Every structure is written in C-alpha cells, then in structure tokens.
Structure 1
Amino acid sequence: MSSQKKATVVSTSVATLLLIIKLLIGVASGSVAVLASAIDSLLDMLVSVLNFFAIKKSEENPDEEYHYGKGKVQAIAAVIEGTVITMSGIYIIYEALKKLTKGGETTMLAPSFLAMLLSIFITYGLVKYLLKIAKETHSLVIKADALHYQTDLWSNGAVLVALGLVWISGYDEIDAIIGLAIGLYIIYSAFEIIKEGIQILLDKALDGKIVASIGEILSKHPEITSYHWLRTRSDGTTNFVEFHMVLRPNMYLLEAHRIADEVEEKMMELDKKKRWIITPHFDPYDDEAVNEALLNGTSLVEQSPVKG
C-alpha cells in the first residue's frame, strides 16, 4: 500500500473515533459547537474514504483508454471535498442561528470540554502526519485532507473557548455565536481546496517560476537557436511540458535527440518529487508566424501562451 493510501486509512480511522466521541457528547450536552464539530468529523470520515478510492484510481497506469493516466481524479476528489466542507459549514451556521433565535441550554460542560481537548491532541498528531506525507508525495488529495484537519484544529479550539465562556458566564448564546464563527471559517478554508482542484481540471500552467526556469533552460542551451509554443500543465501528480525548439536545419536526428535528452533531464531536476512527461518538437526554423497564420485562417494550430 502506498504512503498516500495509508494516510487516508489513518485519517479515516481518526475521524471515526472523533465522530463517536463528539456525537455522544454533543447530543447529550445540547452544545451546538460540539455537535457542529461532530458533523464535521462525520464528513471528514466520508471524505477520507472517498480520498482512498481517488488515490487508488489516480495511481493506475495509463491504458488504451486513458493515455495520460487518471491523475486528475485527485483534483476531482479535492473539489468534492471542498464542496463537502462548505456544506458542513453551512449546516453549522444553520444550527447556530437556530439556537440564537430559539434558544437552548448547554449541559455537561466538563465532559464536553474534556472531549474537545482530547480531540485537539488527536487531530494535531494527524495533521503533522498528513503534512509530512503531502510534502513527500505532493498529493493534492492529502494536502486537502491536511488543510481540512488544520481547520478542525482551529474549530476545536474555538469550541473549547465557547464551552469555557459558557461555563464561566452562563450565557448559552456564546456557544451559538462561536459555532457561527466556526461555520464561516470552515467555508472560507474550503475555497482554496476547490480553487486548486478546478485549476488543475482546467489545465492551469505550472508555477510561474518553474515555467521561467524551463524557458531559461531552453534559452541557455548553446545548440538551441530559439524556442516557442511552450505549454505546461499538471494533473496533480505529473507535470506535462510541450515546446518547439529551433535547431540547425542540417542537424542529424541523433544530435537533435541528444539535445532534447539534455534539456529534459534539466527540466526534471526542477521538481524531483513529480513525474514528468515532456514532449519536444524539432523545427529547422522559427515557424511560429506560419502557425499563427494557420491559426487565424483555419484554427488548426493553437497559439502558445509563452514565447521564446
């Protein structure tokens, strides 16, 4: 089992444990904040199960139907996870507003406080583990999971504060107000997860610094006259690069292949933790203008966003 799959199994197990603890205490005490945290743990568990199957599918090798593999499954899972997080935030806001308008009493403050304190310690350990795996694998799904549990840390801390203030002051409205704040924060945290997943699905270019470094590699090679039509994208686990490089017209194919190997090797050094699929095109002269004319006339060729 890969480290990514193990991470999802661990996060699912932790979420299940936290769900049981929070749900029992939340229902018994009537605390909106604790119940909201329990609902969040339920969604954590479901999302972690989804992530396991997403990673399993994304790790499948390319086949006759999917020539580039299924790496974008992770981006789809990240968008789903972000949407689920948003929905949980909306539900928490609903429960908080209901308690503010209709009222309600928070009981069993001491057990609730201890349950949330235990939850914080367990979640902190899980976040450290997930961040370690995300750094090692560059997995968008694990990164999203780590971010999700980081928001749980903050929300659990807020629940502790709410319970403490209710305990001291006796005002149950504090529990609802902090529950409302937790819901808003959860929705805010989901935005980046959804955004990054959508960017991958829309084939956003690689990071600007990496694209600039790729251009520099091509520009500085002594046997490459110029380059054009540099295009990049990522599916979350693999970086894809395409470009046209202009070489001497009388160059042997063997030499051109050697040059391509040299620049590809340097490009792969830019991010050793990801797979690379690099597709060079050899030109005997700069035909970018010709291709642009074809584009304007027949739309047979796409225009490159980066010029050399």
Structure 2
Amino acid sequence: MRIEQKATVASMSVATVLVTLKMVIGVMSGSVAVLASAIDSLLDLTVSAFNFFALGHAQKEPDDKFNFGRGKLEPLAAVVEGTIISMSAIFVLYQAIMKMVNKTPTQHLQESIVVMVLSIIITGALVLFLNYIAKKTKNMVIRADALHYKTDLFSNGAVLLALGLISMTGIELIDPILGIGIAVYMFYSALPIVKEGILMLLDVSLEEEEVEKIKDLLDNEKEITTYHFLSTRQAGSHIYISVHLVFNVTVTLYDAHVVGDKIELKLKKLFPEYKVHTIVHLDPYDDSEINEIEDEYH
C-alpha cells in the first residue's frame, strides 16, 4: 500500500471516531455548531474513502483502455472534496439560521466541550501527519485532505470557544452566529481546491515559473538550433511536456535522437517529485510557421 493510501486510511479512522463522538453529543445538546461539526466529519469520512479509491487507481499503469493512465483521478478527487466541503457549508448555514429562528436552547454543554477538546487534539495530530505526507509526496489529493482537516481544526476551535462563552454568559445566539461564521470559512476554503482541480482537468499549463525553468533549459542547449510548440499540463502527480526540437539539417537522425534523449532526461530531472512524461519531436528545420499556416487552413 502506497504511503498516500496509508494517509487516507488514517483520515478515515479519525473521521469515524469524530463522527461517532460529535453526532451523539450534537443530538443530545442540540448545538448547531457541534451538529454541524459532526456532519462535516461524516463528509470527511466519505471524502477520505473516495480519496482512497482514487489514489489506488490513479497510479495504475496505462493500458488499452486508458492509454495515458488514470492520473486525472487525483484532481477529480480534489474537485469532489471541495464540492462536498461547499455543500456541508450550505447545510451548516441552514442549521444556524433555523436555530436563530426557532431559538432552540443548547444542552449538555460540559459533555460538548469535552468532545470538542478531544476533536481538536485528534484532528491536530492528523493535520500534522497529512502535511508531512503532502510535502513528501507532492500529492494533490493529500494536500486537499490536509487543508480540509485544517479547516476542521479551526472550526472545532471556534465551536469550543462558542460553547465556553455560552456556558459563561448563557447567550444562546453565540452558537448560530458562530455556525454562520464556520459556514462562510468552509466555503471560502473550498474554492481554491475546486478551482485547482478543475483547471487541472481542463489541462491548464504548468505555473509560469515552471514553464520558465523548461525554457531556460532548452535555451541553453547548444546542440539544437531552436525549439517551438512547447506545451505542458499536469494530471495529479504526473507532468506532461511536449516540444519540437529544431536541428541543423546536416545532423543525422541518430545524432538528433541521442540529443533528444538527453534533453528528455534533463526535463525529467527538473521535476524530481513528479512522474514526468515527455514527447519530443525532432525537426531538421524550423517548420513552425508552415505548421501554423496549415492549422489555419484546416
């Protein structure tokens, strides 16, 4: 089992414990904040299970059906996770508004406080672990999972603060107001995850600094005349680079192929944390203008 999958198993285990604790106390106390946190943990469990499936299949080798592999399962999982966070934010917002309207009192405050303290300790340990795995593997799914549980950590802290204030002041309005704040924070946190996943699914090019690294490498290659049609994209932990290398017309195909292989190896070394796939086209002259005219014609 890959280390990324082990991380999702840890996430599922933590989510299961938190769902059980929060759901029981949330129902008993009638606290919107605690109940919202329980629903969020239930969604965490669902998302982590989906992530486990996605990570298990994303690294499968290409086959007759998926010639380029299944790397896009990773950004797809990130989009699903971000969408679920957004949906849970809407649910929390609804529950908070309903509590303000119905003025439902909060009960079992002491038990709720104990559960939220435990939740913060457990979630904090999980966030540290997921951040470590995300930095080590550069995996988008684990990074999204770490961010997800980090939002839980902040929301758990806010819930604990609210319960403490209610216990001291008796002001019930604190609970739904905090619930609304948590909902807004959850929704705001989900947007970057969804955006990045969608862009990756749409084959957006690599970041400008990464493209510049590739261009600098090619500009310093003395054995090629020039290059054109450089294109890049990313699918989870896979990077795809395509480029046309232009050689002097006197260079043999064999020599051009040897140079092309060397450049492919250098491109892969630029991104050691990723699995880099390169497609290098060898041109005996600069045919970029001819190809552009043909593209316009077609």
Q: Tell whether the structures are fold-level matches, with TM greater than 0.5.
A: yes
Secondary structure of residue in 2 paired with 1:46: helix
- Residues 62-211 of structure 1 mapped to structure 2, 5 A cutoff: 62-211=62-211
In the alignment, is residue 289 of structure 1 matched against residue 279 of structure 2?
A: no
Paired position in structure 2 for 1:305 = none
Please tell me the root mean square deviation across aligned C-alpha atoms, in Å: 0.9
Q: How many Å separate the matches in 2 of 1:27 and 1:283?
A: 69
Contact 1:7 1:130 in 2 (8 A): yes
Structure 1 unpaired stretches of 5+: 299-308
What whole-Å deviation, never above 9, does each CA across 1:62-86 have from its counterpart, x for those lacking one?
Answer: 0011111001011111111111110
Contact 2:257 2:282 in 1 (8 A): no
Secondary structure of residue in 2 paired with 1:260: helix
In the alignment, is residue 223 of structure 1 matched against residue 230 of structure 2?
A: no
The one-letter code of the counterpart of 1:253 is L
Give percent identity, aligned residues only.
Answer: 47
What whole-Å deviation, never above 9, does each CA across 1:273-295 have from its counterpart, x for those lacking one?
Answer: 11111111111111111111111
Secondary structure of residue in 2 paired with 1:269: helix
Displacement of 1:43 in angstroms is 0.3
The one-letter code of the counterpart of 2:275 is R
Paired position in structure 2 for 1:247 = 247
Displacement of 1:146 in angstroms is 0.6
Q: How many Å separate the matches in 2 of 1:105 and 1:270?
A: 59
Q: How many Å separate the matches in 1 of 2:143 and 2:270?
A: 20
What whole-Å deviation, never above 9, does each CA across 1:110-137 have from its counterpart, x for those lacking one?
Answer: 1111110110010011011111111122
The one-letter code of the counterpart of 1:104 is T
Q: How many Å separate the matches in 1 of 2:172 and 2:271?
A: 52
Paired position in structure 2 for 1:269 = 269
More deviation, 266-275/83-92:
266-275
What whole-Å deviation, never above 9, does each CA across 1:193-249 have from its counterpart, x for those lacking one?
Answer: 111110110001112111111111111111111111000001111110000111011
What whole-Å deviation, never above 9, does each CA across 1:133-154 have from its counterpart, x for those lacking one?
Answer: 1112221111111110000011
Q: How many Å separate the matches in 2 of 1:97 and 1:258?
A: 67
Secondary structure of residue in 2 paired with 1:113: helix
Secondary structure of residue in 1 paired with 2:150: helix
Q: How many Å separate the matches in 2 of 1:268 and 1:77?
A: 26
Q: How many Å separate the matches in 1 of 2:230 and 2:275?
A: 18
The one-letter code of the counterpart of 2:265 is E
Give the aligned length: 298
Contact 1:138 1:236 in 2 (8 A): no
Secondary structure of residue in 2 paired with 1:227: strand
Contact 2:4 2:133 in 1 (8 A): yes
**Which consecutive segments of 4 or more residues in structure 1 shift more than 3 A?**
none
Secondary structure of residue in 1 paired with 2:270: coil
Paired position in structure 2 for 1:306 = none
Q: How many Å separate the matches in 2 of 1:171 and 1:256?
A: 77
Displacement of 1:27 in angstroms is 0.7
Q: How many Å separate the matches in 1 of 2:31 and 2:236?
A: 40
Displacement of 1:257 in angstroms is 1.7
TM-score, normalised via structure 1 length: 0.95
TM-score, normalised via structure 2 length: 0.98
